[in-house]
Amino acid sequence: MMAVSMDTVRAAAGGRLQLPSVPRVVRRLISQLRDPATSIVEVVDELEQEPQLAARTLRIANSPYYCGRRSLASLKDAVAIIGTDTLRTLVISGGLEAVFVAVPGVNLRQFWLDATLTAKAARSLARLAGGDGEAAFLAGLLHNVGHLILCQAFADRLPAVLAGSRQARGRALAALEHEACGLDHAQVSAAWLDELGFPTAVIDAVARHLEADPAAGTLAPVLALATQVAASIEGGDKAELALQKLDASLVAAASLVADNLGERFGPQYEQIAAGSEP
């Protein structure tokens, strides 16, 4: 199943959807995801004209995870330390977060906390499965942006439907969205990412992660597992309990080995929960 097109989503929404404007440097970096051979130098020059994005990128590049006790003063230094793939991911994620300033009925701080936990978990799980960690991070961070778009477009009905169900996520959240809007966050997220030009693997993972038995490669089940991990972290679960809660069919579909998942992922789970992984 491919992602629903944005034209189809707009039609289903009755013309209500108004998509946020994305910074030029972010669009350029998204296009580079399809052409990794493109030089990063011009993008760094553009990024230096976006102070907020540049500052966020430097802050993360200066974290102990990347540079230890060294201090990076320029984006070119950051590229040298964290690499072009990670720089693209940081700038894209930061840029897309910044376009949603206020959304009816949504605590954006909590929303992006959940998205960041999902992204970090997806990256770790994808790497354990031998997959693309940065693609998984982007899918995890952006899998739910369709919910923000729906809350903006259906501000007259969706927040009321969600009242009393603020903790709903995954299929439960999608069911409430369908009730109010006739669409769900996975459809809208994937359609928007498709329109922005994200790689097919990221789009399909976002589109398919709510399915009971994802079959489009391993990234969709990895993303589905990451949402479960994020829920466990927010619920205060220790690693052992969180791993017990993971859907065994998704673990298999993601090409992860259940028998040693605790040994391999458990320490990473604790790092993510403690906020020590960037």
Q: Name the percent of the chain lying above pLDDT 90.
A: 42
For 168, the token pair is: 């709903």
Low-confidence stretches of the chain (pLDDT < 50) are: 1
Q: Tens of pLDDT along 11-47? A: 877 878 877 788 887 887 787 766 667 677 777 877 7
Q: Which CATH architecture has domain 1-16+103-278?
A: Orthogonal Bundle (1.10)
The ranges assigned to domains in the chain are 1-16+103-278, 21-99
Q: Report how far apart the first and last C-alpha atoms of the chain are (Å, whole number).
A: 33
**Cα–Cα distance for residue pair 278/259, rounded to 1 Å:** 27
Q: What is the pTM of this model?
A: 0.86
d(CA 33, CA 27): 10
CA pair distance 276, 72, nearest whole angstrom? 19
In terms of Cα–Cα distance, which of 247, 190, 241 is closest to 222?
Answer: 247
| Cα angle 202, 52, 134; round to 5 | 20
State the angle between helix axes of 108-128 and 258-274 in degrees (0 to 180), rounded to the nearest 10. Answer: 140
